Amino acid sequence: MNTSLKDKLPPLSQLGPFIALAVASLIFGLSTENFFSGANFALILQQVMVVGVIAIGQTLIILTAGIDLSCGMLMALGSIVMTRFAVDYGLPVPVAIAAGVGVTTLFGLLNGLLVTRIKLPPFIVTLGTMNVAFAITQLYSDAQTVSNVPDSMTWLGNTFTLGGTQIAFGVVMMGVLYLGVDYWLRDTASGRHVYAVGNHPEATRLVGIPTDRVLLGVYVLAGVFYGLASLLSVARTGVGDPNGGQTENLDAITAVVLGGTSLFGGRGLVLGSLAGAIVVGVLRNGLTLMGVSSVYQVLITGILVILAVAVDQLSRKGDR
């Protein structure tokens, strides 16, 4: 059989992010002086951690053949809620954080209910909640940045030194979250059901799996991850930013798609999304080091997304 080697290799779409990462690193390494340094990689990871954690929630939703356009806006709303609760109302930091995560989780629940109960397409639902969340964020913050955030809320932005490199605690948290979700998706029944629902919802329902409950759970869980991303964003920038989340919104989808998760659902790995997020971060970082204007960074990210989706589509053509 001449197909045996091809069967053993992971599909091209799942190798994509690693190839892209290698190519981008090579180019930037050759063309700039400071790219290959521990400090620069630590910086990239720190820049990536917010998008990275949003991308976990986004991965879960895309695995069920959905999409979440509201992710970045929910992250911004969560960070405004938690900073205002702590700064303006003087509530204890854990309470304020819980409130912020609670709000994004509720929005996740709202998305999930609209998708599962009223059977609205995820694209439209989250397009709606994206705008609702944006408006609430602006109104609630009066379009003002919330500053003077207590230190204990930005603790995740602090760094520790490992082998001469300063690594942020938030980066460690991102890593732990990724490993946890990877374990859940691969090695537990409920994780496998997320794939099954995305792969063939009817077959999954017919074997007795409550597909709507799986879907609803995924949207709620995604809301939790957006809330944790809010906390990371506050930790990284030190403020509650009402205009945050705008680049993160598409960057998270880009990370997931680059990471090889199929927009058709049921295929992909959450660790791929981490690689995808790092690719986006490396591009931003490397192009900045090369002195390229940020407009070109957006242009290149856009082209990469189209490429990744094209690879996914083409690699699926042979299936049926």
Contact residues for another protein (CB under 8 A)?
7, 183, 187-190, 192-193, 195-196, 199-200, 202-204, 206-209, 266-267, 319-320
Residue whose C-alpha is closest to residue 285's, from 77, 61, 45: 45
Q: How far is the CB of 257 from another protein (least distance, A)?
A: 17
Q: How far is the CB of 198 from another protein (least distance, A)?
A: 9
15 vs 106 by CB, closer to another protein: 15
Q: How far is the CB of 7 from another protein (least distance, A)?
A: 7
CA distance 246 to 249: 5
Coil, helix or strand at residue 166: strand
Residue where the block lists tokens 């709000």: 103
200 vs 236 by CB, closer to another protein: 200
CA distance 75 to 61: 16
Task: Give the length of the chain.
Answer: 320
312 to 125, 250, 253, 267, 318: CA distances (angstroms): 25, 18, 14, 10, 11
23 vs 203 by CB, closer to another protein: 203
Q: How far is the CB of 192 from another protein (least distance, A)?
A: 6
Q: Which residues pair with 162 in a beta bridge?
A: 165
85 vs 195 by CB, closer to another protein: 195
Coil, helix or strand at residue 264: coil
7 vs 33 by CB, closer to another protein: 7
CA distance 320 to 316: 8
Q: How far is the CB of 267 from another protein (least distance, A)?
A: 5
Residue whose C-alpha is closest to residue 215's, from 188, 202, 197, 203: 197
Coil, helix or strand at residue 54: helix
152 vs 188 by CB, closer to another protein: 188
206 vs 310 by CB, closer to another protein: 206
Q: How far is the CB of 180 from another protein (least distance, A)?
A: 11
Q: For residue 317, how many other CB atoms are within 10 A of its CB?
A: 7
Q: How far is the CB of 308 from another protein (least distance, A)?
A: 18
Q: How far is the CB of 216 from another protein (least distance, A)?
A: 18
Evaluate whether 66 touches 112 at the Cβ level (below 8 Å): no
CA distance 150 to 152: 5
Q: How far is the CB of 71 from another protein (least distance, A)?
A: 24
Q: For residue 116, how many other CB atoms are within 10 A of its CB?
A: 18
Evaluate whether 225 touches 108 at the Cβ level (below 8 Å): no
193 vs 284 by CB, closer to another protein: 193
CA distance 227 to 238: 16
125 vs 185 by CB, closer to another protein: 185
| Amino acid identity, position 9 | L
CA distance 312 to 260: 7
